[in-house]
Chain A
Amino acid sequence: MRIAYQVLAFLRRDWRIARSSTFGLAWQATAIIFATPTLYYIGRLIRPGTPSLAAYGGDYFTFAVLGIAFSGFLAAVMGACAAAVRQEQVGGTLEVLLTLPASLPTLAAGASFLPVLLAAAQSLLYVVLGVAMFHIDVAHANFFGAALIVALTTIVSGALGLFAAAFVILFRRTDPLTGIMVGVGAMLGGVFYPTEILPPPARLLAQFVPLTPALHGLRLAVMRGADFPTLVPSIGLLLVWCAVAVPASLVTAHAALSEARRSGTASGYG
């Protein structure tokens, strides 16, 4: 119960702060409303028979909407914790939080909760607009498989976000890692185009980006309704990522915090 109250406290605080800037929230929703038809009309330029899209059913609009919505959500998951740590550093509240009896995972989860919820709502808005107004076909989608892939990728992204937060704690600088990871993901992970069209060296590198199996599996599940055995390679790779990234990120974040406490820089921001 204690942990639930702690996470709820962060959620209420962040909602109260976000509420004071409703314009920002409204603007983000408006941007999506304009972006979706743009993608639709770009999609109409690309012939359905394009071979590299065949594995996903050939529809570029659905392919791009899923890629953008999901990668945007994951970028928010990755960046949320580091951004929150930086805000607490600059506001002088990190020192206060470090004197309170809350664990590091609870602080990280609490501080990321609302930004991740809002990002999830935005991503959902993309897909809902696509389904309702531009006829994305989800009648045969494997929702359970898609949900499993989303959950695993969210865990991996959260772990990568902890590395970024560790950087902010140690170096007391704005997080550069999330931007790099999001950029690499967009280029190699298949957000806007299938990884099959990449040159062979880039295609090889793409295998080491968690977004690649995540988007591939998600698109197969949603666009083709792929069954569980078909999704196993993507799910297996994501499980490996979870097994490696989660403990490594927790150890790294703990080490960063210990080092910052030891050197007396945990609460500084300059």
Chain B
Amino acid sequence: MIEIKSIGKTYRPPFWGLAGFGRGLRKVDALREVTLSVGRGEIFGLMGPNGAGKTTLLRLLATLLPPSRGGGRIGGADLVRQAATVRRLVALASGEERGFYWRLSGRENLEFFAGVLGISPSAGRRRADEVLELVDLLPMAHQPVAQYSTGMRQRLGIARALLGTPAVLLLDEPTRSLDPMNALGVQTLVGRLAADWGTTVVLATHNLDEAERICSRVAILVDGTLRAVVGAGGRDQSLASQYSTIVAVG
């Protein structure tokens, strides 16, 4: 479902470079020569220390960023040349608290984003309620997002990503701000999406237990470089020990 080859991303300061604009920005190699493939219906983990390139990789897959080198395909569509097609296949839940209209309710937010996906108002409302139910937010659907807790906003972000029934779901630390019960609920939901709907999930996380529990394989990134892709679910060696060995070698 996802094939990327020698993909790299270098953030360069913006070309205008006028005094005051872009000040403090410098060239950063965020991702270097990463090659990997993810199968349909697979839950694929991304792990690594802060600044390892996990979020950059997710943003490349979501076409928010163009790669500086290399390339890739999602569902056969080229990440750069067929970005519009890729956007119909992929949804990103960034885990950011911002990203909603705080005066609107959770349902109204989702109705808006459903509309931007090209879904009719009536179908959008039905779909909004379906995905709100999936993340256990339906009882709070009418409340303004301003009144949501951090965890509720995070779940709303996952609901938004599910609006268009994406073939590929990109999750950036989806359980970061959730309590253990809600985190378990999201992990179960992700497992169901992959098993029942065949959704491919790429999940960036710092949580070793979470990765071990729901991911079939985990890519370990250090300093923008892919160090290893290891099987999760513990056969010979636990993910935790493999991770710590690889990161320690750095």
CB atoms of B101 and A91 under 8 A apart: yes
Smallest CB gap from B9: residue in A: A264
Q: Which of A11-19, A74-82, A141-149 contacts B (4 or more CB under 8 A)?
A: A11-19
Contact residues in B for A101 (Cβ distance below 8 Å): 84, 87-88, 117-118
B70 within 8 A of A: no
B43 within 8 A of A: no
Partner of B64, one of A10, A259, A267: A267
CB atoms of B118 and A5 under 8 A apart: yes
Question: What per-residue 1/0 map shows which CB atoms of A85-125 lie under 8 Å from chain B?
Answer: 00000011101111111110000001000000000000000
CB atoms of A8 and B63 under 8 A apart: no
B240 within 8 A of A: no
A192 within 8 A of B: no
Smallest CB gap from A13: residue in B: B112
Within 8 A of A (CB), among B177-216: none
Contact residues in B for A173 (Cβ distance below 8 Å): 21
B160 to chain A, nearest CB (A): 7
Measured CA separation A8–B125 after assembly (Å) = 14
Measured CA separation A100–B116 after assembly (Å) = 7
B167 within 8 A of A: no
Smallest CB gap from B119: residue in A: A5
CB atoms of B66 and A261 under 8 A apart: yes
B98 within 8 A of A: yes
Contact residues in B for A262 (Cβ distance below 8 Å): 12, 65-66
A162 within 8 A of B: no
A6 within 8 A of B: yes
Partner of B14, one of A20, A93, A96, A265: A265
Contact residues in B for A17 (Cβ distance below 8 Å): 101, 103-104
Question: What per-residue 1/0 map shows which CB atoms of B78-111 lie under 8 Å from chain A?
Answer: 0000001001101110101111111110001001
Contact residues in B for A33 (Cβ distance below 8 Å): none
Contact residues in B for A259 (Cβ distance below 8 Å): 14-15
A-B pair number, CB within 8 angstroms: 114
A170 within 8 A of B: yes
13 example contacts (A-B, Cβ-Cβ < 8 A) are as follows A5-B124, A9-B124, A10-B115, A92-B96, A92-B98, A95-B96, A97-B116, A99-B63, A99-B91, A100-B87, A101-B88, A101-B118, A264-B65
B62 within 8 A of A: yes
Number of A positions contacting B (CB below 8 A): 39
Question: What per-residue 1/0 map shows which CB atoms of B53-84 lie under 8 Å from chain A?
Answer: 00000010011111000000000000000001
Interface footprint category on B: 35 or more
B148 within 8 A of A: no
Partner of A8, one of B87, B90, B115: B115
CB atoms of A8 and B121 under 8 A apart: yes
Measured CA separation A117–B249 after assembly (Å) = 61
Contact residues in A for B11 (Cβ distance below 8 Å): 263-264
CB atoms of A13 and B104 under 8 A apart: yes
A190 to chain B, nearest CB (A): 34
Within 8 A of B (CB), among A1-39: 1-3, 5-6, 8-10, 12-13, 16-17, 20
Measured CA separation A260–B118 after assembly (Å) = 25
A193 within 8 A of B: no
Partner of A6, one of B22, B96, B116: B116
Given contacts A98-B64, A99-B91, A100-B87, contact A6 B115 (CB under 8 A): yes
Measured CA separation A208–B12 after assembly (Å) = 38
Contact residues in A for B99 (Cβ distance below 8 Å): 91-93, 95-96
Measured CA separation A266–B66 after assembly (Å) = 11
Given contacts A16-B104, A17-B103, A92-B99, contact A2 B94 (CB under 8 A): no
Partner of A100, one of B13, B66, B113: B113
A171 within 8 A of B: yes
Measured CA separation A219–B115 after assembly (Å) = 40
Contact residues in B for A267 (Cβ distance below 8 Å): 64
CB atoms of A263 and B101 under 8 A apart: no
Smallest CB gap from A100: residue in B: B116
Given contacts A97-B116, A99-B91, A102-B116, contact A261 B65 (CB under 8 A): yes
Partner of B101, one of A8, A13, A102: A13
CB atoms of B160 and A96 under 8 A apart: yes
Contact residues in B for A264 (Cβ distance below 8 Å): 11, 59, 65
Question: What per-residue 1/0 map shows which CB atoms of A37-67 lie under 8 Å from chain B?
Answer: 0000000000000000000000000000000
Known: A9-B124, A92-B97, A261-B66. 4 other contacts (CB 8 A): A93-B98, A101-B117, A261-B64, A263-B12
Measured CA separation A259–B104 after assembly (Å) = 31
